[in-house]
Amino acid sequence: MKSATVKELKMELLDRSPKEVMELCLRLSRFKKENKELLTYLLFESADEEAYIEGVKEEIDSRFELVNKKSPYFVKKSIRGILNHTKKYIRYSQNKETEVELLLYFCQKLKSFRPSIYRNRKVEIIYNRLIEQCKKKVMLLHEDLQYDYLRILESL
């Protein structure tokens, strides 16, 4: 089965009644956890972006506490998992400020992580790439925000 384009889906949804659209959304939310998470963000959390950011930061903190430190391989694998979850939450928001804030917070947690990231070359590479990504993303923001975020980047 070939997927319809976004334009085709939009046109078809315009032809449907609000009740049918609601039923389609609820049916869609049953299939994948990410669909349900996105709907939850859009319906309940998008109005208060600051609370959403704080919630994601708390989840990052709890995931860092659970990192398996038995070997460098498990450390790298755990950190990649935390980063993937963080990027998933960034995709839900699609807000550039939220993206920079969460990536910088992740970098701060990674830098203060013990054992040191500089003992594990692969984790250090992840960290350095994130710093470069953050620098590029910060340059797309408003000048006042750039100043604040660049100060944070300098400390990293």
Same domain, 16 and 77: no
> How many CB atoms neighbour CB 103 within 10 A?
21
Here the tokens at position 110 are 């990674």
- DSSP annotation of 3 reads P
Same domain, 44 and 59: yes
Residue 23 half-sphere exposure, CB side, CA atoms within 13 Å? 5
Question: Same domain, yes or no, for 20 and 95?
Answer: no
**Which pLDDT tens digit goes with each residue over 73-100?**
888 899 999 999 999 999 988 888 889 8
CB within 8 Å of 64: residues ≥ 6 apart: 82, 109, 113
Same-domain status, 81 and 112: yes
In a shared domain, residues 104 and 142: yes
- Contact status, residue 60 vs residue 105, Cβ threshold 8 Å: yes
State pTM to two decimals. Answer: 0.82
